[in-house]
A and B are shown apart, each in its own frame.
Chain A
Amino acid sequence: MTVITKEYFDYPHRKKGLDHDRFERRYLRDLPQVDWRDGSKLKLWVTVKFEQFPMDMPAKPFVAPGGMDRPYPSVWDYSTRDYGNRVGAFRLFKVLDKYNIRATAAMNSAVAARYPYLLQEILRRNWDVAASGVDMGKLHHGDLDPASEAALVAEAFGTLRKLTGQSVTGWHSPAHSQSTQTPDLVAAQGGKYIADWINDDMPYAFRTSAGELTQMPLSWDLSDHKILFTQNMPIADYEWQINAAFDALLAEAKTRGARVLSLSLSPWIIAQPSRIRALDRLLARITATEGVTAATGEELRNDWLEMQAP
């Protein structure tokens, strides 16, 4: 019988705070009751994911959610996702334009390199481009050797900065996956925020070996990907949950201080013909509500830092 050794009863981090030193413990309810700098209570942060799922993506150590599901060569899986970059994105642009919402484009650098027309449409709208790795087959994870990962982070930022002309301050790791050094590499490359941890509804300060980042509350549980693709729920349940989140966060923002409603959208999922109207209805309701304004990730980060200033 395999035995448990006495080391199993060692608890080296069993003390006040977290079991790592990236950030301090903080309870959302303890944040000071302040509004956003423009006086709004709730910020709508729309993030659109522009993703490239290579047909030959590796199965190890794990496949990103939305990755190839069927045997190689799965043209079905590949083209279903690529649909987002050619059809879905433009349907989404139209809806977001209708409500004057500028989004954060969380892009795999491979998408920007492959589809310059799509990139220009993003830039023309003055969206924020955030780096989201190279492609969905190149994951950042604990088993990746450090030099390879550093090269991936440099390539993602480098390609996107060159092609966009933007400073590209944001980082979203494909599949919300990080190694222990990902935040350090992002900061070393001049990144200002990461949006990978899903433990809060507000930004917080995140320590790295190259200075402090802001960790931004990009939703996963409330994303179209999780609800409509991973959990296979009908669009009515997506709509219900976004409305519920909006109601709860707005009520909390009014009594306890500024909050963020993060909509994380994948054009290949939410912009299907049967679904886009639900998003339209949601945005109509959200943007018509007093006390709610939209912001990009970089705008939110700036606002947040200003609000922290003494």
Chain B
Amino acid sequence: MLDVLIPHFNDAEALDLSLRSVAAQTWRGKVRVIVVDDGSPSDELRRAEAIISSCDLDIELIKQPENRGRPATRNTLLSASDARFIAWLDAGDTWYEKKLETQFNTLYKQVYDGQDLSRIWVTCNYDWQWVGGRRRKVTQTTSGDQLKHLYVGDRLRAYLWTLLGTREAFNLVSGFDERLPRLQDLDYFISFVRGGGRLISAESSDALCCYFKSDVGRNAQEIRDCYETIFSKHGPSLNRFGVKFVRRAKAKADFVAARFAKNNRTPLVSLGFRMHAFGMDPRYTLYRAKKSLRNG
């Protein structure tokens, strides 16, 4: 009835953490977990298999012989799912126990309101936790122009593991773009909204899941390039917001890339992205600089 789709690569311990949070859900319906292992080294794969076999959940493990990357793995997960509902989780992130129950109640409410479930994804607020840092709640705002909010990512963020929806709704988009090693979920969200889909918030102000964030080992330039691919792919829908907005979206993308560079100890690369952001949108860059100084 519900398939929980989890991509896994080389981190059995993280998978264990995520599976435990699925097992602890208060929602009563039938759950199947599909894990696609993206070509993990044999030792780590064996550990993942041991964790799966010791887990009480109904789990299907699909093994990809070689590492094909996150978007291809997510496409494999989508094709393997045949349940009426789909929820996503990344190995290493966790759901709080009321997540599914709250989101299903939101779906039922949509039926009561006469909405078409094949065009709806239910998102939720979440906790954001830097590895070794404190948790802070992030609120997903689904009112207003969702496309605009997705491009700048400050009110509505494209994270798959916040979502619950019908399989039809997830198939409204023709899969994940395999040209995007990073940010394929942002592209997926944008395509969904552009295709007539709508995100709604779960009817709870509480955070319903937790994202354990780490930038380490991620290539800042790759991330910035992925942004550029997305901006150019969805050019017409982005450009309709005007030149000023496009420049702001690009400057924000530079700042995200700068953060990755900084957290990977390449300060000069980080500075380069900030300078690029200044060229794009000097006002926004100064605002960020002031904010940064204020926060020490």
Is B one of A's binding partners?
A: no
